[in-house]
Amino acid sequence: MGNHNSFQSENIQDIYKMQMMQWHVGVEKEVQKLGFNINVRSDHLHKQNFMQLYSIVKPQHEEIATLSTTESLFATEFENIKRSKKTLDPFKEFYVTTLIQENDPSLQEFERQVLQQLSTLNGCLLEIFQTFRQTQLPNCSQELDKFIVMFRDSFVQILIHYYDLNLFASLNKCHFLNTSSLQCLVSNMIFNDQVASHVYQIKKLEQIDENEKIHKKLQFLKDKTLADFGISIKYCLDCTTREYIQSKLSSKANTGSQSQQIMKKDTFETLIIEDVDTIQLPSRPQAKLLQGTFFLQSPFQNAIEALKLIQFRQTPHHKVKQLVACFRSIYSAIIDYYNQYTKQPSIISTDEMIPIFHYVLCKSSLQNPYTHFEIMYKYLGNLDGIEGFYLAIMEAVFNIA
């Protein structure tokens, strides 16, 4: 960690001399590890870049600290998952620990400025990145993963040494400058159109069998109901009710004569009284049932639509962000449903979440799901947070017979 006393000096020249005399040593070590032939010490823009970052951070350091020394600006409320991966609380709001993008609402303006400076490449940083861009990408998935992950991790270390980020990260306002967030930043820089397309095509070709196996399973289940997926009745959110009553309506319509058919609403009310086994239905006031408001789309439709968008996201972290949006939509649907009755659902266990996500994946018709999973899993970096937990649920769904 850096020295807080460095920020007490008003002379930025003294700070630079004190902190950055040996900046090139760590950078050169990482460049050699990559096998690049670059003269790091000839970078005449280093001092300018360091001072630019310092000028962004110093005013924040001088403000009264509002965060504890153990709290990260990207901290998640789901830290309990790291200790016990048994339950999820759908009522907790959270920020994703590693997902950084320009329009992320969780980012403050100060954080955007810091990340913008770190991703603005010139001098030897630009030369290192251009050398990577000019390198022929492997055509084997395993070698491709190794090559990209090695460059990502090395470039993270290069940024740390180049700017002495340990100095900045030790400050209260800069706790978001951790390894996970830097891995995300560099990954987003790596995955331009060319790299993203190459990675996807290579993995898709190598994973034809895995994707086809998953597609066959999902195709078999495409017309199944929520209850058929083994979802707990308390999370069917009227869908079981709707499908059960619709099947009764269909049955009566087929057996009754034309003259005996009555208005749909009357038929519906008759069914509620005569035919519906209330033991099979989610607990809900009958008056609400009679309104017919549940004869709509799936209660998890927003989650289905969110999951579909994974295939249109370019970087691994933006794909994961879409996966997180899918799970948040699942929680929102459950919360909104129970809020109508001023009740709170019990905490969702992992065993209860897996069939819900299985249903959402099936209805989403996501193309090549295993390939998208593999891209997220291989390039995400830190899998200890909520993102890794959601990927584990996704993998568990793939393994369902």
What percent of the chain has pLDDT above 70? 68
Per-residue pLDDT for 319 more than 90? Answer: yes
pLDDT tens across 170-201, in order?
776 777 888 888 998 999 899 999 999 999 99
Cα 129 from Cα 127, distance rounded (Å): 5
Residue 92: which pLDDT band, with cuts at 50, 70 and 90?
very low
Q: Of the spans 13-22, 48-57, 103-112, which averages the highest pLDDT?
A: 48-57
Please provide residue 12's backbone torsions phi and psi, each rounded to the nearest 5 degrees: -65, -30
Q: Quick one: pLDDT at residue 213?
A: 95
Q: Quick one: pLDDT at residue 56?
A: 87
Per-residue pLDDT for 97 more than 70? Answer: no
Q: Of the spans 62-71, 248-257, 303-312, which averages the highest pLDDT?
A: 303-312
pLDDT tens across 207-243, in order?
999 999 999 999 999 888 888 898 887 888 865 555 5
Q: Quick one: pLDDT at residue 342?
A: 67
Cα 280 from Cα 244, distance rounded (Å): 9
pLDDT: which is higher, 281 or 142: 142
Exposed / middle / buried, residue 348 (Cβ in 10 Å: 0-12, 13-18, 19+)? buried
Lowest mean pLDDT among 99-113, 260-274, 287-301, 304-318: 260-274
Residue 169: which pLDDT band, with cuts at 50, 70 and 90?
confident
Q: Quick one: pLDDT at residue 171?
A: 72
343 close to 175: Cβ distance less than 8 angstroms:
no
pLDDT: which is higher, 238 or 72: 238
CATH numbers and ranges of domains, the chain: 13-36+92-97+104-190 (no CATH), 206-244+296-400 (1.20.1050.80)
Q: Quick one: pLDDT at residue 69?
A: 32
203 close to 196: Cβ distance less than 8 angstroms:
no
| CA atoms 252, 253, 257, 258: torsion sign | positive
Enclosing H/E stretch for 88: strand 87-88
pTM value is 0.75
Q: Quick one: pLDDT at residue 35?
A: 95
Residue 391: name the closest of 221, 311, 382 by CA: 382
Residue 214: name the closest of 91, 361, 342 by CA: 361
Q: Quick one: pLDDT at residue 187?
A: 92
pLDDT: which is higher, 91 or 381: 381
Per-residue pLDDT for 116 more than 80? Answer: yes
Per-residue pLDDT for 271 more than 80? Answer: no
Average pLDDT, the chain: 76
User: For the residues 39-53, what does the mean pLDDT come to?
Assistant: 91
pLDDT: which is higher, 82 or 140: 140
Enclosing H/E stretch for 331: helix 316-339
Residue 31: name the closest of 114, 120, 142, 130 by CA: 130
Per-residue pLDDT for 346 more than 80? Answer: no
Per-residue pLDDT for 110 more than 70? Answer: yes
Cα 377 from Cα 387, distance rounded (Å): 9
Q: DSSP H helical segments within 170-263, as ranges?
A: 179-190, 193-206, 208-220, 239-255
Q: DSSP H helical segments within 99-207, as ranges?
A: 109-119, 123-134, 141-163, 165-169, 179-190, 193-206
Contacts of 2 (CB under 8 A, 6+ apart): 19, 164, 166, 167, 168, 169, 170, 171
Cα 350 from Cα 355, distance rounded (Å): 9
Residue 131: which pLDDT band, with cuts at 50, 70 and 90?
very high
CA distances from residue 265 to 240, 268, 270, 275, 332 in whole angstroms, order as listed: 19, 5, 9, 15, 30
Lowest mean pLDDT among 246-260, 264-278, 302-316: 264-278
Structure-token match 């809900």, residue found: 284
Cα 191 from Cα 387, distance rounded (Å): 19
Residue 187: name the closest of 216, 224, 148 by CA: 148
Q: Of the spans 283-287, 313-317, 354-358, which averages the highest pLDDT?
A: 354-358
